[in-house]
Chains A and B, each alone.
Chain A
Amino acid sequence: DAGVIQSPRHEVTEMGQEVTLRCKPISGHDYLFWYRQTMMRGLELLIYFNNNVPIDDSGMPEDRFSAKMPNASFSTLKIQPSEPRDSAVYFCASSLGGITEAFFGQGTRLTVV
């Protein structure tokens, strides 16, 4: 397996634009997590899914953020409209079981100017 695949690796966008981040989890994993990493706040859990169903989205900072998982092999995190304070590295991770070893993608570095 190629591991968790995220795209794009880097995204630069203007404030107000819509941004969509993509994630392909490891085949067979039943949990998918979206994290955001900044120097100030560290690694924050935004939302996680179990068997494609969102379980907890309390970490999503605002209504501008939304996430979907239409099937077991694909998830998106959308920010609309984007703001400069959304600049961060966004990680997707998957696991077999929610509290076992998590496998992380390489991340998407988002810069909103």
Chain B
Amino acid sequence: SQQGEEDPQALSIQEGENATMNCSYKTSINNLQWYRQNSGRGLVHLILIRSNEREKHSGRLRVTLDTSKKSSSLLITASRAADTASYFCATDPNSGNTPLVFGKGTRLSVIA
């Protein structure tokens, strides 16, 4: 079964607005990662947050992690049309070296 589930499934915003996507997972983790996928392309790593971290920033990206609620959020500030893509969270279940498990993603559309 999939570990991470993103919410919402789809999001449409105007350029310049902020976009927030959420991810919930089921078991304890070592870290949580966010990836972006442009149409017809492979996934690209955006940011990794460890289980002992609560917040992390990278440029216009802000990720939070709440291990008590088993949830994470990805905030993209001042969105641009180029941010249009699908965004996935990926978790590594804290059971040995089990590889990443991806959710179904949030499809973000940024309208110019």
Contact = CB atoms under 8 A, between A and B. Distances in A.
Given A42-B2, A42-B104, A106 B42 contact: yes
21 contacts: A31-B99, A35-B102, A42-B2, A42-B102, A42-B104, A43-B43, A43-B105, A48-B99, A50-B97, A56-B99, A98-B92, A98-B98, A99-B30, A100-B48, A102-B45, A102-B90, A103-B45, A104-B42, A105-B42, A106-B42, A107-B42
B101 A45 contact: yes
Contacts of A99: 30-31, 92, 97-100
Interface size class of B (residues with CB under 8 A): 20 to 34
B44 to A, nearest CB: 7
A91 B99 contact: no
Nearest to B94: A99
B33 interface: yes
A62 interface: no
B88 interface: yes
B44 A104 contact: yes
A101 interface: yes
A91 B33 contact: no
B74 to A, nearest CB: 16
Given A42-B105, A99-B30, A91 B43 contact: yes
A102 B43 CA distance: 9
A43 B105 CA distance: 9
Q: Count chain B CB atoms within 10 A of each CB in A4, A45, A50 and give the residue with the most.
A: A45
Nearest to B104: A42
